[in-house]
Amino acid sequence: MTMENFKLPPVRLTSAFLALVMTGFAGGCGGGAPKTFDAAAQATITGKVTLDGSKPVPLDSTITFYCAEKAATATAKVDALGSYSIKAQEKAIGVPGGRYKITVRPAEAPPAQVGTDDYKKAMMAGGTAAKQEIKSDIPSKFNALDTTPIVLEIKPGPNTIDIDLSKL
């Protein structure tokens, strides 16, 4: 046998070359050390959500802050007094300052209990256990990013944001 019998076909050489080049890119041509977490640039947000200035939104409603420019989302459950608190869940992931759209949604109902008529109807329809519908005093316009009128600037550091839905 001669060395010519051991030549790789051109396709394999091309694949091997591409794999080597891609390994170089994956190794990090990113321009230096990773960014460090800057706690001073992060925000904490606390406040109350009410329906008329004094009546809190229903227990376990959810308030969500979404900042498109920073691709940041922060969410909290509302307690029985209408209070909420948002802070970084992990030290390396914070809540950056920026312009946020805010949604307020009622608590989700639990799925229908196995054996109930609602459960049987859902199963007969080919679906999973349907969630019971919860009636809420929260106007539906606050439930989605595309309809909420609440847009606020969140600054780094502590922020107190009280929201009265009846005034919006």
Closest CA to 42 of 80, 94, 103: 94
Residues with Cβ within 8 Å of 83's Cβ and at least 6 positions away in sequence, in order, are 46, 47, 48, 56
Domain count, the chain: 1
Is position 121 within any domain? no
Is position 55 within any domain? yes
**Domain, as residue range, for 98:** 39-108+136-167
What CATH number does residue 156 fall under?
A: 2.60.40.1120
The structure tokens listed for 77 are 């459950």
Residue showing tokens 């007969």 = 124
Q: Phi then psi for 107, rounded to 5 degrees? A: -60, 150
Is position 70 within any domain? yes
Is position 71 within any domain? yes
pLDDT at 131: 53
pLDDT at 163: 97
Closest CA to 165 of 153, 152, 148: 148
pLDDT at 25: 42
pLDDT at 18: 41
pLDDT at 151: 98
**Residue 93 three-state SS:** strand
**Per DSSP, which regions of the chain are E strands?**
43-50, 62-67, 72-77, 83-86, 98-105, 151-154, 157-160, 163-164
Is position 68 within any domain? yes
Is position 92 within any domain? yes
Is position 60 within any domain? yes
Is position 32 within any domain? no
CB 46 within 8 A of CB 163: no
CB 62 within 8 A of CB 78: yes
pLDDT at 150: 98
Q: Which residue ranges in the chain fall short of pLDDT 70?
A: 1-37, 89-92, 127-134
pLDDT at 22: 45
The structure tokens listed for 111 are 């799925």
Beta bridge partners of 63: 76, 104
Counting Cβ atoms within 10 Å, is residue 65 exposed (0-12), middle (13-18) or buried (19+)?
A: buried
pLDDT at 69: 94
